[in-house]
Structure 1
Amino acid sequence: MTSKTLLQIENAQVNYLGKATFDQLNFTWNEGQHWAITGDSGRELTAFLETLRGTTHLPEGRIWRPFAADYISQKTEDGSVHSFRDLIAYVSQQYRFRNKSNLQNFYFQQRFNSSEADEAATVREYLKENSTTNPGPWKLEKVSDLLRLTPLLDSSILKLSNGETRRLALALGLLRQPKIYLMDQPMTGLDQESRAAFGDFLQAIISEGIHVLITTSSAEIPEGITHVGGLKSGGKMEVWERENYSLNKGQNLDIHWNLKLLNTLLEGFPKIENEVIRLENVSIRYGEKTILNQVNWQVNAGERWQLKGKNGSGKSTLISLLIGENPQAYSQNFWLFGRKRGSGESIWELKRPIGFVAPELVRFFPANQTVRKVILSGFFDTMGLFKKTTAEQESKANQWLQLFQLETFANLPIQRIPLEQQRWTLLARALIKAPKLLILDEASQGMDERQRVIFRETVQKILELTPITLIYVSHYQEDIPENVDRIFEL
């Protein structure tokens, strides 16, 4: 008995974001199949998902979507506005929340200021606002229970950790009552326990009749997946049944940057002595909820630390103290570079010696901020460039653009470039001012396997060539550079 075809792509040329991406893409998705798609290019994996969604341009070839045929026929007969996309849920790696008035994106500091939480909906409100009227099995209570959001329903969406935000995005997809669920790298940002539970989540939604396709790394094929596709450059795809798939481990790659230029850019990094951070019995609370409880930690100059902890353990809150974004710092016994917080320092004095990278930073830059402007904003510690720059600063920015091979993206808004180039842009922004302390919070999140190796080895080279102090946050041990030799776990 032949399985019914849900979707088929035949001999398709595909243009994505204005560029030719695939020359001859073929793919057949049959009923009962649940796919994991791996590949060497994060941009091509995203382009593949966007092709399934119908948001790319096909100069040649065809795509059929039989899974939506009955729905479209019924809606046409009823005279209702409709699209095959009504039956698709999609979770991308980039999601932005707007305030209650729907007028602007939140600014970064709001995440840590409890007085401004009213600007954002609660998790419960947000899920209700974004639910569909389509009939189906996925109700708010069921979805909240499945994705462990029930204890968070009355929390502001502004207060969610990176992993909690990812679970909220997955919940929103289910509330669309989809027949097909597409997810772009859905396990990024999840701690080890949450990644292990992701297979249970997939099996729960598959049992309700949803067909699943995810992009992921070759090392993370969750339970519930029946077929694996290896996407090659140009659109060729090798296909395996899950039980016949052998792990394609990522290679150890030498960084391909201009090492002479990297050496030149790192020459001016300052060397400091004594302690960089000291926390004594630091406690942070929002209302009745304690986020950090009696935390003690000392980081000395030149030390390289991994900061670990489950989603929601307080890592983001702790980092917000270190980078000067949390107003509760003033009531704590907390020293940076030997100076107690609240002793008269300005926010700019505090930020100047610290470089910071986190993937969510991208969504807080104004829409007109190009890659060049974002890198230059590192000199001023602002979320965008609002000051006139010197010729020396422009020259330095051009060197970082050249080093990370970002010249072709220099004048494009950062929110419109591929994720991996966003990550290199943020790293250049953090390093351009030669900081004393570098904080990398899931900094390579969203990169493909090859780029993550290159990112790790780039940070390793920076550690070898400078006296910089480092705090590195990652749920993936393989992303941690070799020179990171200390662990602080929340």
Structure 2
Amino acid sequence: MQSITLEQFNGYLQGQGKSRYDICNLDWQVNLGEHWLLLGANGAGKSALTAALIGEAKCESGKRISSINKLMLVSSDSHKQLLAQELEHEKHTLVKDLIFTGHSNNDELLAQLIELFKFSSLLNRHFRDLSTGETRKLLLIKALSSHSELVVLDEPFHGLDVQSCQQLNKILIELSQTITFVFVLNRLDEIPSFITHYGYVNQGCLLHTLAKPSSEQLSDLLKLLHLEHTSLDVPSPDTEQEQKAFTGNTLVKLSNAKVSYSNVSIFKNLNWTIKKHQHWQLTGANGTGKTCLLNLITGDNPQCYNNDIEVFGFKRGTGESIWDIKQHIGFISNALHMDYRVSISALNTVISGFYDSIGLYQKPSDAQINIAKQWLAFIGLSDKQSTSFTQLSYGDQRMLLIVRAMVKHPTLLILDEPCLGLDEANRQRVLLLIEKICAANTSTVIYVNHHAADKIKGIENYLKMEDFH
């Protein structure tokens, strides 16, 4: 089978100016007959990956193996390169010379594309006189008529009017029978119907691929893209809740903390101070005491009264109530997910976070309902607001429980292994949501996981439980 394969490919694409786009440990194979779509945020590295695929990225390690002989690329960079050549050599190339070079006089596909894009009247113009949309059409005509085995289209609809987009989509469907396509797109409504494989790109890495995905798998991937591209801000807190917010700078302080059971030490000599807006990632192997440590903070471990702990201005054991502490905390864990078995709507699941209840047993205010709806829109689940929590996918449930923990804008948001049990697309959704919450800087985040390498932008402080044994 003819294909292009990249094995442990590390390299970079040098962009315009001084920009450099790094490619990390890329394992990717594209076979003839497949049609790929690369998705991800702006700057994620999608264009760099396609450059690696076609052999235009500089390889530092790994290898690229290709049995495909002829391929073409249409992108903003290819447009810039063509224009740069014209300016550098002071050329005034005619459109017809660019289009017809290498073609026979009776090329039916070329004639069809010229007619499709109404280019007959532009053939005697100079290339440099074309508009952005006309230039994109010229590049598409050249690529699609080249009889290449593989064509990479990086934002092919960019700059085209509505009618031209419809015409292009129609011809792409026809050509998909004979040409293998790789697309890079930002707009989800432009995804061609014939796509067979999907890839999610972040920070120069191909993190997740789907081959002929189920409707549920594709739905999860598109929800991830919704969250990535949303222009919405993290919803504001309820005014009443905002008035109760903790105003101090030191949220938690543990001095020489320790936990042991039956004379077996779980951890000891742990000193930890958490300041407002100082986000932390807590790591450690099974049994190193991550959850025990969190329970000292929340008061769910009785040994909290045997330790020197200050939480939200209260010295543990000085008469504070559980509510004095928990009103400032939002919490999500796998255990909470398993316990949340009530059949209430997605909307009411989020609202229950205002009351820290499993289920909803109080009448919410109009403001609370409105804020909960804003959170559903933020994570792309507005259309599920009336769906029972138990009827939602596991990934959607986890997203709901995180925004349930966040809805009251707690001073401290504790996320205890929020990605446990999630597939890759939903894991990326959760990590991205945490990143957006950190960026909002309304809550201080403690993110617990097993992998120190799973870094989240915005978290710059790390605590390793292995250091306290």
TM-score, normalising length from structure 2?
0.48
TM-score, normalising length from structure 1?
0.46
